[in-house]
Amino acid sequence: MITGKTNCVGILGYPVGHSLSPVMHNAAFEKNQMDYVYIPLPTAPTDLKTAVSALKAWNFCGANVTIPHKVAVMEYLDEIAEDARMIGAVNTITIRDGRAIGSNTDGIGFIASLRKADAPPEGGRAVLLGAGGAARAVVWGLLQNGIEKITILVRNIEKGLDFAKRFASYGDINVYTFNDTDAKEALRTCTLLVNTTPLGMAPNLDAMPEIDWADVAADAVVYDLIYTPLMTRFLCEAQERGHLVINGKDMLIEQGAESFLRWTGREPHRPSMEAAFDSFWASRQKND
């Protein structure tokens, strides 16, 4: 029951109706028997500054931030944590002593999902397909967790080089176009191959990145950040060739779990979050 003492968190986005976060977090609050509520806060871009002030005025514990505010929100916050600075986007706001602190839990979520699949990053060689916002989180997570080498394959080399510059002083990062001969060498020796492009995401189920599986190390773990569908064409083809495959569902749950921890100081009940994810998608698919 929501009472006058209930602690509030929410999500700033526009729109927010598609977001899985309210169901996942409210399921965990209920299971954990915590007096918290997670509220959708649809916020037009022109109202973003006011919304951040309102989080403080209403004594919220914090909020998630989603499209289109992940970058724009930074100028309205009192402090930006290193993870958000390196990733270049905020997905979590924590209110402490009246100050709004922006951070980003996507990198931690990615690493936690690798560990859950028994595919730890330490000493590995990763190849990422694409260099957008999610790739920045993946790279930051890998660099913080002992990856030996990262190769990024892109269609636009200028954008890719710009991306790599951001992280160059933190580790061994190379960028090539998809059909470069050095790209093939990186694929042959990688331990982890990650699709960070939206290719294959519903409704474009036939799409997938340009990869010749003959080039990919036979024992590489193959990861797709997409979680709709759970098995993209990219993952299906990898699985047929015997690769261990991981989809984006656990990263989504784990980034949420880390936000939950930052707001409340407690670990959420993850099976409840996962069950909420599953039933949300089942009902969405029935209604589509």
Identity of the residue, 133 or 171, whose beta carbon is nearer to ligand NAP in the bound complex: 133
116 is catalytic: no
Element containing residue 153 per DSSP (H, E) = strand 149-154
- CB-nearer residue toward ligand NAP: 191 or 196: 196
Alpha-carbon distances, residue 24 vs 91, 114, 179, 230 (angstroms) = 16, 20, 40, 17
Quick note: the x/- pattern for ligand NAP over 108-147, rule CB under 6 A, is: ----------------------xxxxxx------------
- The region of 32-40, 76-84, 247-255, 264-272 touching ligand NAP under the rule CB under 6 A is 247-255
Least CB distance to ligand NAP at residue 83 (A): 14
Q: Which is nearer to ligand NAP, 106 or 258 (CB)?
A: 106
Dist. CA 38–CA 19, nearest whole Å: 12
How big is the chain by its Cα radius of gyration, in Å?
Answer: 19
Can residue 106 be called a binding residue for ligand NAP (CB under 6 A)? Answer: yes
Q: How far is the C-alpha of 84 from the C-alpha of 88, rounded, in Å?
A: 6
How is residue 274 written in tokens? Answer: 């996962």
Residue with Cβ nearer ligand NAP (95 or 151): 151
Quote the DSSP letter at residue 185.
H
Residue 166 as a binder of ligand NAP (CB under 6 A): the answer is no
Number of chain positions touching ligand NAP (CB under 6 A):
22
- Quote the least distance from Cβ 3 to ligand NAP, whole Å: 32
Q: How far apart are CA 218 and CA 177, in angstroms?
A: 22
CB atoms within 10 A of CB 127: 28
* Interacting residues with ligand NAP between 170 and 209 (CB under 6 A): 196-199, 201
How far apart CA 57 and CA 47 sit, in angstroms, is 15
Amino acid 160 reads: G
Q: Which residues are catalytic?
A: 70
Binding site for ligand NAP (CB under 6 A): 106, 130-135, 155-156, 159, 196-199, 201, 225-227, 248, 251-252, 255
